Amino acid sequence: MKQYNVCVVGIGAVGTEMVRLLRKRKFPMKSLTVLARSERTEVIDGEPVQVKVASPEAFDGMDFAFFAGTEGSKGASQMLGWEAVKRGCVVIDNGDDFRMDPRVPLVIPEINADALKNHQGLIANPNCSTTIALMPLAPLHKAAKIKRIVASTYQAVSGTGAPAVKELENQVRAWAEGKDVSHEVYPHQIAFNVLPSVGSFKDDSGESTEEVKMRKETHKILGDDSIRVGNTCARVPVINGHSIALNVEFEKPITPEQARDILSHSPGVRVVDNPKQAQYPMPLDASEHDDVLVGRIRRDQSTDNGLVLWCSGDNIWKGAAQNAIQIAEELIKE
C-alpha cells in the first residue's frame, strides 16, 4: 500500500486525538509531523512528540494536512490552508473558516462522499453537533425526505477544549471540598449547571453561532435548502460525548419500526433502543467509540409523519478527528 507524509496542525484536544486515531486506524503514514505555533515536545500516550512551528515551508512534501481547528489552532487554516494546497498537500480542515465556501466540500463520508469528487485541495469537516445529528438523520432523509428538524443539543465541555475539561474537573473537586467554585473558560459555573449558550451571539436574531452552523451545514451536506431547521444548543457538565434530541417531520409516513430497521443497516450508526431495559444512547457509552448511538425512537405526537430520536456521539472522534481521517481514507480508496 502506498504511504503518505502526514501532518497535524494543532495539538489541543482534537489534534491530540488526530495523532492517536491516525495510529489506531493504521493510517498508511510514511511520516507524521505535528505543527503548532511554537516548537516544543508534547507527550501523547507516554510517547514524546516533537512539535514544529507551522509555516508555509512546513507543508513542502506533505500529502495530507489535518488542521485541528481548536485551542489557538483555529484560524490556522485561514492563514496556511490554501498555502499548503499550493504546495501539493490535501488539507482537511476541522475549523469553520471554509465550511460554507462554495469551493470547499463539507463532508461526512458515510453520507456525502460524492462531494469529494473534483475537490480543489481543501475539504472541510462539519461542526461536531451537525455530524452527530446527521449520522442517523441522513439515512432517514433518504428513505422518507425530511421536511423539518427541531434539535436540542447537550454538548460536552471537551468541545470547548482541554481547558474546559480541566475547569469542570476543578469545579467538581472544589464543590466536593466545600470550597468556592471559580470559572474562567465559561461565563458561569458549568459544574451541576446547564448553559443554553454554545458559540457566540453576533446579531439580534437570538441564535448562537453554533445554532446557525447546524442549520446551514445540514442544508449543504444533505443538498437540500428546503429543510426547516430549528435548534437550541446547550453546554452540559459532561466531559466528553454530545447528545442530541431530534424531533423530525417527514414528507412520507415512516414508523419507528421502519426507522430502526433503516438505522440498523446504516454505516457508522448503532441502534441502542430498549428503554424498558434502561438501554438507550448515553455519552459515556459513545465516548471513544466510532459509531453514533441512536435510540428512544418513537412517534412524534405533535405532527403527522413525525419521529423523535435521541443520539449520542463522541464529539472529538466522529465529531472531529475521526471524521477528518475518514475523509482522507475515502480519498485514498477512490
Which residues on neighbouring strands pair with residue 229, listed in sequence order?
149
Among residues 7, 89, 233, 242, the one annotated as catalytic is 242
**Which CB contacts under 8 angstroms, 24+ apart, belong to 159-168?**
159/128, 159/198, 159/235, 159/242, 159/315, 159/316, 159/319, 160/185, 160/186, 160/235, 161/12, 161/13, 161/70, 161/71, 162/12, 162/13, 162/71, 163/71, 164/190, 165/13, 165/239, 165/240, 168/237, 168/239
CA distances to 50, 118, 302, 312 from 230, in Å = 44, 32, 15, 19
Among residues 128, 141, 233, 311, the one annotated as catalytic is 128
Could you tell me if 189 and 270 are in contact, meaning their C-beta atoms sit under 8 angstroms apart?
no
Angle at 93 between CA 265 and CA 138, to 5 degrees: 25
Distance CA 15, CA 6 (A): 13
Q: How many CA atoms lie within 13 A of 133 on its CB side?
A: 32
The yes-or-no answer on residue 311 being catalytic is: no
The yes-or-no answer on residue 242 being catalytic is: yes
Residues with catalytic function: 128, 242
